[in-house]
Amino acid sequence: MNDIAANIKIVQQRIHAAEKNFAKPAEPITLLAVSKKQSIENIKKAAEAGLYAFGENYVQEALSKIEMLPQLEWHFIGAIQSNKCTAIAEHFAWVHSLSSAVIAQHLNHARPPDAAPLNVCLQVNLEQSSNKAGIPPSAVLELAQLVMTLPNLRLRGLMTLPEPSANFEEQRKPFRQLARLLLDLQQAGLPVDTLSMGMSQDCEAAIAEGATIVRVGTAIFGERL
Ligand SMILES: *Cc1c(COP(=O)(O)O)cnc(C)c1O
């Protein structure tokens, strides 16, 4: 077994252990392999080890990988520039990092009519003090309702990227907040089902709070170049 296949096994065991410890409902958690700055060879190894969903942050870098491996499911998880919306809408199955109405309209307009609707999560910035990407919690409902009106987008849920913390209880707090925001959307009648949260260092805490997609890079591929 190569290193990547061995790492994937370890990550899958971490996910299963967390699901068991926190008695999560039976819906399977998607392990999204974050392959930014990883070679096509490494991505192939992860696919051969059974992974299907891959996350990329940089459009230019992603396009050649997608061209070589179009059978995989590609998720865009990086900052979205408006001049990249067409490429994103044409080549990805998911966007996790939607944080503006204008970008939502561009993606909707650029999604090819013969493709399935683009799955989208809204990126939420839960740390009001930081200037990180994402919308504040108070803006979630309005953007969610706008996305619901766009026929070529399918609103799936919420994503967040919190400040790293070494403490498990501290790690859980922003994930719990995001889960509550998803519940608010469900109670407002929106058909959302996805919490994209948790990375190499904190996927157990995210699973404890109901993550449905964990985005894991380093723990699968090792340090990025
Ligand atoms: C890079 C990245 C990840 C993966 O982080 P690791 O710590 O390598 O697991 C997850 N989500 C986003 C949005 C990222 O940019």
Residue 139 DSSP code? G
Residue 177 CA to ligand 1 centre (angstroms): 20
CA distance 122 to 80: 12
Residue 138 CA to ligand 1 centre (angstroms): 25
- For residue 188, the enclosing domain spans 4-221
The tens digit of pLDDT for each residue in 187-216 reads: 999 999 999 999 999 999 999 999 999 999
Kindly indicate the confidence band of residue 23, based on its pLDDT and cuts at 50, 70 and 90.
confident
Kindly indicate the confidence band of residue 11, based on its pLDDT and cuts at 50, 70 and 90.
very high
Q: Are strands 73-76 and 153-159 parallel, antiparallel or unpaired?
A: unpaired
Closest CA to 192 of 206, 176, 203, 181: 181
pLDDT at 58 over 80: yes
Report pLDDT for 2: 79
The tens digit of pLDDT for each residue in 89-98 reads: 999 999 999 9
Q: How many separate domains does the chain show?
A: 1
Q: How far apart are the first and last CA of the chain?
A: 22
Question: Three-class SS of residue 32?
Answer: strand
Name which residue sits closest to atom 12 of ligand 1, judged by CA.
77
Asked whether 37 lines ligand 1 (CB < 6 A), one says: no
Q: How many CB atoms lie within 10 A of CB 155?
A: 26
Report pLDDT for 67: 98
Asked whether 34 lines ligand 1 (CB < 6 A), one says: yes
- The CATH number linked to 186 is 3.20.20.10
Residue 167 DSSP code? -
pTM (2 decimals)? 0.97
Report pLDDT for 114: 95
Asked whether 161 lines ligand 1 (CB < 6 A), one says: yes
Asked whether 211 lines ligand 1 (CB < 6 A), one says: no
Asked whether 217 lines ligand 1 (CB < 6 A), one says: yes
List phi, psi (to 5°) of 135: -90, 155
